[in-house]
Structure 1
C-alpha cells in the first residue's frame, strides 16, 4: 500500500482541492510548479504529470498550451481533476506499474513532472521501479522534474528517500542530473529539507 493511501485513506480529493482553492483566493501563488516546468520546455511540448492529484499543475500547463496527461492512483483526486478539466486525459494507475502503451498513449514525453511529495508517498521499496517507469516514458533528451521533502519539516510522513538514493535510481536508468533547486521558484539548493531536481534522459 502506498504511504499516501495510509495517510489519507484515498478519500481526500475534495478536501485537497478546497485547500488550494482557499490559498488561491487569499492571493497565494499556487502555480509555481507549472511555471517552473514551462520554463524548461516550450508550449506544445508533451507533459506527463505523474501523481497528478487533483490536476492543479497539469491543468495550468494545459491552459498555457502544453499537451498534457495526468496519472494518479487516488480515484478521489482524479474525480476532482476530471470535473475541473474533463477534456484532458486522466488515468488511474499505480506508478510502479505505469506503462503508457497499455493506456494507449505514446511514451515520448518531453517532460515528466512528479511534484507534491510523490516519491516519499510511494509504497516503500517501489521508488527505483517508479523512476524506471517514468524514465521509460520520456523521449531521448526529455526531462524528469521532481520535488519532494527530505525531512519531517517538509513531509506529512517520516522521510523515506534521500537525494543520493534518488540520484542513484536515476543514474541506474540513464538519467543525468541537470540542476537542483530548493524551491519551485528556482532558489539555489543549499542542502535543505526540500529539493526540486531536474534530470535528463
Structure 2
C-alpha cells in the first residue's frame, strides 16, 4: 500500500479541511471568478470528444469544464468528500475515489488509454514524495501513444522542478512544451510556476 498523501494527512489533522476547500471554490464560482484557465489550455490541444483523465480532480473544477466543452472525462481523487462535491457540482463525468499512486482504471471498468491526463491545482505537491515516480508512471500507462500529460504546480512547495523532470523521465515521460503559466507564458529558469506538457518517451 502506498504512503499516505500529504493531502490526506491534512484531512486527518483537520477534518474540516475538505469542506473548506470545497466551499472556497464554490464561493469563487459564485463570485464569477475565472476557474477554467487550465481547462481552456487542455481543450485547445485536443479534438472534440477527446478522452481525458483529470488526475487529482478535487471537486471537479477542471474536469467539469472539460466535460462541458464536449470531452469524455474521468476524474480521480483520493478524497471522498471532494469526489462527492464533484458529483454534485459537475454531473456528467465519471468521478472515482482512488489513489493516484495505485491507479489502475481498467480494474475499475474504465477503458483506457486517454488522449490527455491533466493534473492541475498543485496536485503533484500534495502527493507523498515516495509515490511521485509511481504516479507519473501510472500517467504514462494510461496515456495513448500520442497522448500528453499536462501537469502544473508552483515552486516552493517541496518539489523542485528539476526533481520533477527526473521523476518524469523515470516514468517514461519527456517534455513536449514547458510553460510558466496556464495562459501560455514561456517557462524560464526563474519561473515560480511550471506547466509541463509531457509526451510518452
* Both structures adopt the same fold (TM-score exceeding 0.5): yes
1:73 to 78, 86, 91: 78
The whole-number CA distance in structure 1 between the counterparts of 2:179 and 2:39 is: 15
Q: Which deviates further from its counterpart, 85-94 or 104-113?
A: 85-94
Q: Which deviates further from its counterpart, 178-187 or 81-90?
A: 81-90
Residue in structure 2 matched with residue 21 of structure 1 by the alignment: 26
1:149 to 141, 146, 154: 154
Residue in structure 2 matched with residue 63 of structure 1 by the alignment: 68
Distance change >3 Å, CA 102–CA 11, structure 1 → 2: farther
For residues 118-197 of structure 1, the aligned pairs below 5 Å read 118-151=123-156, 159-190=157-188, 191-197=190-196
2:11 to 5, 8, 24: 8
Equivalent residue of 1:47, what SS? strand
The whole-number CA distance in structure 2 between the counterparts of 1:111 and 1:170 is: 15
**Deviations 1:76-108 (Å, cap 9, x if unpaired)?**
100101112343211111101001111111221
- Residue 18 of structure 1 deviates from its aligned partner by 2.2
Distance change >3 Å, CA 28–CA 84, structure 1 → 2: closer
The whole-number CA distance in structure 1 between the counterparts of 2:16 and 2:122 is: 18
Give me the TM-score of the superposition, normalised by structure 1.
Answer: 0.90
Give me the TM-score of the superposition, normalised by structure 2.
Answer: 0.90
The whole-number CA distance in structure 2 between the counterparts of 1:79 and 1:60 is: 17
Q: Which deviates further from its counterpart, 116-125 or 167-176?
A: 167-176
- Residue 24 of structure 1 deviates from its aligned partner by 3.0
The whole-number CA distance in structure 1 between the counterparts of 2:8 and 2:177 is: 31
- After the TM superposition, which segments of 4 or more aligned residues of structure 1 sit over 4 Å from their partners? none
Residue in structure 2 matched with residue 155 of structure 1 by the alignment: none
What root-mean-square deviation, in Å, do the aligned CA atoms of Structure 1 and Structure 2 show? 1.5
The number of equivalent residue pairs is 194
The whole-number CA distance in structure 2 between the counterparts of 1:86 and 1:42 is: 22
Distance change >3 Å, CA 12–CA 82, structure 1 → 2: farther
Equivalent residue of 2:118, what SS? strand
Equivalent residue of 2:24, what SS? helix
Residue in structure 2 matched with residue 199 of structure 1 by the alignment: 198
